[in-house]
Homo-oligomer: A and B are copies of this chain.
Amino acid sequence: LTAGVVVRFLKLTVAYDGTAYAGWQQQRRRRSVQQQLQEAWERITGEPARMAASSRTDAGVHALGQVVSCESRTALAPHVLQRALNARLPEDIRVHEVAEAPTGFHATRAAVGKRYRYLIQDGGTPDLFLRDYCWYLPRELDVAAMQQAARTLVGQHDFASFQNAGSPRTSTVRNLRELTVARRRDERADRVVIEAEGDGFLYNMVRNLVGTLVEVGQGRRDARWPAQVLAARRRSLAGRTAPPHGLFLVSVACDR
């Protein structure tokens, strides 16, 4: 790299359909979203790219507004980079914005808030157009009981019970600022939408919260049970991990 070329920090806002990918992170043999973005970037700028994302979404998980950071020496304008990336990326990954970011911007470290959404179809014939985008459960869920249970989980707590092994963190305390459950009816299917917003989430935390709320919605557990699971701080007590394909990373708030 030539001395004197200015290093820029860029912030990309990216949407993707996670169905065809091993997740955000680069894997040895399987296609990842990171790999697709980095390869497109390298072809456009001629420089190796090393990108970081705010959320390392798992295989099958989707994103409406993932935030990605990239350090670069390219002189191309943000909107030119956006257009060039979208021209080279597969149709299931779209760059919604490219913007200049402050020196040192790193998407993982800058994230101070994340919003996730989880879709469930409960009852009826499985909507084939949602086969990759929601968790199908054959029987109707008790949404009122799920709402009651969700309220007991909101706030700053030690969420160790809702963390899967695989990504040890220094602290398992997080501030879950919002956890809502709502029913949406449309002509084709009944859906239950769960939204979670907080300062950060442990590994598989949203999917474990969903799996636990579903046990309440199915009547297998009382609405007070999730609060007991939370208090126990033991993963083995929580419900099953909900499948990945119902989960969407909606948006990320960065501190600068």
Contact = CB atoms under 8 A, between A and B. Distances in A.
Contact of A94 (B15, B96, B126, B188): B126
Nearest to A93: B128
Contacts of A234: none
Contacts of A224: none
- Tier of interface size on chain A: 10 to 19
Contacts of A16: 128
**What is the count of identical protomers in the complex?**
2
B96 A129 contact: no
A94 B64 CA distance: 28
Interface in A183-226: 188
A133 interface: yes
Nearest to A63: B128
A15 B96 contact: no
Contacts of A126: 94
A62 B128 CA distance: 11
Given A15-B128, A92-B128, 15 more contacts: A15-B125, A16-B128, A17-B128, A17-B129, A62-B129, A64-B188, A91-B128, A91-B131, A92-B131, A93-B128, A94-B125, A94-B126, A94-B128, A96-B125, A129-B133
